[in-house]
Amino acid sequence: MAETLTLKAEARDQIGTRAARAIRAAGRLPAIIYGHGEGVQTVTLEHHEVEVALEHGAHTLHIELAGKSQQCLIKDVQYDHMNATPVHMDLTRVDLDERVKVTVGIELRGTPKGATHGGLLDLHMSAIELECRVTDIPEVVRPIVTELEVGDSLLVKDLDLPEGVNPTGDPNERIVTIHAPVTAVSDDEATEESEDGGVEPERIGRVRKDEEEGKSGS
Amino acid sequence: MAMMPKRVKWRKSQRGKIRGVAQRGNKVAFGEYGLQVLSGGWITARQIEAGRVAATHFLRREGRVYVRIFPHKPVSAKPLETRMGKGKAEPAYWVACVREGAVIYEIGGVEEEIARGALMRVANKMPYRCRFVKRRHGL
């Protein structure tokens, strides 16, 4: 599990697009804290600190707000249209011994034997939902795929997860498959008919008679 | 073969405007690495095909290339030495309308360095500036 970072939060009373934009322009990130029967608290966090935490695969944070520290789980992060910069963060209050559902990334380890023999590695799941204690959340799941041959699949039930960490989804769901090499159409053949505009697509629906005549006449 | 729709309801379309930024199709969803456009506009079917061929050649049939855009829009062009008027010209080629931030190609099943090399070649064939992006795992 990644080390839990401590971030200083400031309460914010202004909500809405304009206020959020002003906060972002000032180098801070609007966020919201909720859960555990307490009230909803809108806060701002230091943008750079949040980015560092996310970069290090953090799932939980210590949030210091008005001299009080609380353990929070990162529930959701919204990114901008370039999917690069966080624009908002949802945090939920948790206890250290609480069991939670989190989505953890999957990072494959090794090169499958099948892939070296011309097979194609197809990753079906890039993240998996797990249920575990807050203190046991893995930073990332790293299955070793070196033994996979062509035609083999790695299933959710094959994952070697730490004790107390359970996947919530279907245990027979595929994570990775090694497909047999595909004999694709060669690019030379594919580009033979690359003259676009040569053939027109079929028209859907009734075509007006005069339009059809005009087309054949031109 | 350059892509174009199999069936259309209307043969010709108006030019339209591309407003705003990509609100969807802006994440790497199928492969591990992607190419994201940094400005919006039209990408012709020929350019899309050129990019696909460049990536496939670079990868030497390894991995998998995903093309995330499709040229739905017909563009009309008048023949040379034709007087103006006499109605809208015949469709000449097909384009895909992309907004800033759209992921246009993706590659999966290869190492990052190989994917980066392939997508940089594709970027050189694109009419807009592009950047290499990786899939975001988890949060």
Overall average pLDDT of the A186-199 stretch: 52
The angle formed by the CA atoms of residues A67, A88 and A25, to the nearest 5 degrees, is 85
Q: Do A121 and B108 touch (CB under 8 A)?
A: yes
Q: Do A204 and B8 touch (CB under 8 A)?
A: yes
Cα dihedral value A190, A193, A197, A203, nearest 10: -80
In a domain, B50, yes or no: yes
| In the predicted structure, residue A184 carries a pLDDT above the cut 80 | no
More confident residue, A207 or A100: A100
Q: What is the pLDDT of residues B15-66, one digit of tens each?
A: 999 999 999 999 999 888 999 999 999 999 999 999 999 999 999 878 889 9
pLDDT attached to residue A115: 81
Overall average pLDDT of the B90-97 stretch: 96
Q: Which pLDDT band, with edges at 50, 70 and 90, does B111 fall under?
A: confident
Place of tokens 């034997």: A113
pLDDT attached to residue A218: 47
| In the predicted structure, residue A186 carries a pLDDT above the cut 70 | no
In a domain, B3, yes or no: no
Could you tell me which CATH class the domain A5-94 is placed in? mainly beta
B121 interfacial to chain A (CB closer than 8 Å): no
Fold of A104-179: RNA Polymerase Alpha Subunit; Chain A, domain 2 (2.170.120)
| Domain limits for position B55 | 33-79+87-134
pLDDT attached to residue A96: 85
How does the average pLDDT of chain B come out, rounded?
94
Q: Which pLDDT band, with edges at 50, 70 and 90, does A210 fall under?
A: low
Q: How many CB pairs under 8 A join A and B?
A: 101
In a domain, B7, yes or no: no
Within chain A, all domains assigned CATH 2.40.240.10 are found at 5-94
Quote ipTM for the complex.
0.85
Q: What is the pLDDT of residues A64-110, one digit of tens each?
A: 998 889 999 999 999 999 999 999 999 999 998 889 999 888 888 88
Measured distance CA(B54)–CA(B123) in Å, rounded: 10
| CATH number of the domain to which B118 belongs | 3.90.1170.10
Measured distance CA(B119)–CA(A63) in Å, rounded: 40
Q: Which residues of B touch A218 (CB under 8 A)?
A: 90
